[in-house]
Amino acid sequence: MPATIVIGAQWGDEGKGRVADWLAAQSDVVARYAGGDNAGHTVYVGKTVFKLHLIPSGILHEHVVCVLGGGTVINPVNLLREIDEMRALGIDVTPERLIISTRAHIISPAHIALDKASEQARGADKIGTTLRGIGPAYMDKTGRSGLRMGQMLEVESFADALYAQIETANAKLARDGCETIDPQKSAEDYIDAANRLRPYLRDTTQYLNKRLREGARVLCEGAQGTMLDIDHGDYPFVTSSSPTSGGALTGLGFGPMYVDRVVGVTKCFSTRVGSGPLPTELSGDLGARLRGTGENFWDEFGTTTGRPRRCGWLDTVMLRYAVQVNGFSEMVLTKLDVLSGFDELQIATSYELDGQVIDFMPVTTAEQSRVKPIYVKLPGWKEDISTVRQWSDLPEAARAYIDQIAALCETPINTVSVGPERDQLVHRGQ
């Protein structure tokens, strides 16, 4: 197993953190390839809840080296806060265990201010971003005016470049009637951060290629999800990076010949946070039941923003699209325990669009908003399955539900989760 990619199959929040944590145990290196601290990966180990935003989940395994690849965008101040939080929980985060790409782009306070200003200007049409400055940081990257982490190695020129970037942003913010930011204060904060982060910076492309050539097992940890991909998601209600499998290669800088496993993670129902179409969305009691009350950490409220997630039945039209875009070799189904107690479950198998039945995801968000899902109904199960550890102990209806999804997506499902704890993963054949 040279390289495995773990990807969110839906709109993010599928439980990739816990799946990456499981696969990290069998890996030597775990590398994040896209996105920034907009992600929220929650991993439960015993009574401790680890909430990771940027650091790969692999950090929880002592033998693993973690990498933040060139495709990521990094807020250095927030990264240092996360490093300190992990250390306070007893996790060893040192430059030997966390390597940051000199090619990764920097999120500055200017990007955060511009993200807020852009959302305000959109009004009712807002994307519902996490307000972490992700979009503006990637805009500067593709506009060829971004700052890269490697520039932190030259403190003086870095400070000048950051100062200039903030002054350019301030001119725009002032033009739009928004509050500007203090370039001097930002430069000071970022120089402090640069001084602490310098030992972690490295050419991660060279590092990863060397490790892969030597036979190391590399886990590429995706963030966000397929439908949030800048190219393949429901644009414009997307993030600004490439969370899909192609993004792992560009974000880390190695070739496809190393990849032999692509794991898609999907919840057994649908959720979305932020704006944009969610064809199977359920309002009322059913949606509320899937969401949970918020009393548990694992209820459907955003890890990064705390926003309630929109919930609905599982959508296999969307999942089949995710299988195409990513080339999943298998899928992991999470949160199966949440479906206990429903009399009947529904899975969307096709859509009706303007009077026609279609079995694919239409391209435009206008069409996606008009589709009416066509459902297959399956019997539910009443048993609490959170203590199940053997596939054969899952209720027959639960196994039928899993098998139906695998058949509809033409992709094997051999692992399901029945709760948030590490040992609440059930593997087929065990």
With contacts defined by CB under 6 A, name the span among 32-40, 82-90, 260-268, 291-299 that binds ligand IMP. 32-40
| 132 binds ligand IMP, rule: CB under 6 A | yes
**Cα(318)–Cα(315) distance, integer angstroms:** 6
The residue at minimum Cβ distance from ligand IMP is: 274
Contact segment (CB under 6 A) with ligand IMP among 38-46, 152-160, 191-199, 345-353 equals: 38-46
Q: How far apart are the C-alpha atoms of 64 and 90, rounded to whole Å?
A: 15
Contact 262, 7 (CB under 8 A): yes
Interacting residues of 407 by C-beta distance below 8 A, sequence separation 6+? none
Q: 424: helix, coil or strand?
A: coil
Of the candidate residues 223, 227, 338, 418, the single one contacting ligand IMP (CB under 6 A): 223
The verdict on 274 binding ligand IMP (CB under 6 A) reads: yes
Smallest gap, in angstroms, from Cβ of residue 401 to ligand IMP?
24
Q: Interface with ligand IMP by CB under 6 A: which range of 123-131, 148-156, 316-324, 412-420?
A: 123-131
d(CA 273, CA 10): 11
Q: Which of 16, 369, 377, 362 is nearest to 221 (CA)?
A: 16
| One of 128, 308, 380, 395 touching ligand IMP (CB under 6 A) | 128
By the rule CB under 6 A, 40 interacts with ligand IMP: yes
Of the two residues 162 and 223, which places its CB atom closer to ligand IMP in the complex? 223
Nearer to ligand IMP, 111 or 148 (CB): 111
Catalytic residue among 37, 41, 115, 315: 41
Q: What would the two tokens of residue 230 be?
A: 């800048």
Q: Which stretch binds ligand IMP (CB under 6 A): 128-136, 147-155, 255-263, 382-390?
A: 128-136
For residue 295, report the phi and psi dihedrals to the nearest 5 degrees: -70, -30
User: Does residue 53 have an active-site annotation?
Assistant: no
Site membership for ligand IMP, residue 224 (CB under 6 A): yes
Contact 263, 19 (CB under 8 A): yes
Q: Which residues 161-180 are close enough to bind ligand IMP by CB under 6 A?
A: none
Does 134 engage in binding with ligand IMP (CB under 6 A)? yes
DSSP state string for 149-178:
GGGGGSHHHHHHHHHHHHHHHHHHHHHTTP
Which CB atom, from 52 or from 187, has the smaller least distance to ligand IMP? 52
- Residue from 5, 12, 254, 345 binding ligand IMP (CB under 6 A): 12
Per CB under 6 A, the segment of 129-137, 329-337, 392-400, 420-428 that binds ligand IMP is: 129-137
Which amino acid belongs to residue 256? P
Task: Using CB under 6 A, pick the residue from 27, 42, 75, 129 that binds ligand IMP.
Answer: 129
CA–CA distances in Å: residue 319 to residues 239, 300, 349, 406? 19, 20, 10, 10
In sequence order, which residues have a C-beta less than 8 Å from that of residue 115 and are 6 or more positions away? 129, 131, 132, 133, 134, 135, 136
Q: Is the peptide bond before 236 cis (omega within 30 degrees of 0)?
A: yes
Retrieve residue 280's tokens.
Answer: 């199977």
Among 43, 159, 228, 336, binds ligand IMP (CB under 6 A): 228
Residue carrying the six token digits 């995706």 = 222
Residue with tokens 């989760």: 417
Catalogue the active-site residues. Answer: 13, 41
Residue numbers at the binding site for ligand IMP (CB under 6 A):
12-13, 38-40, 127-130, 132, 134-135, 223-224, 228, 237, 239-240, 273-274
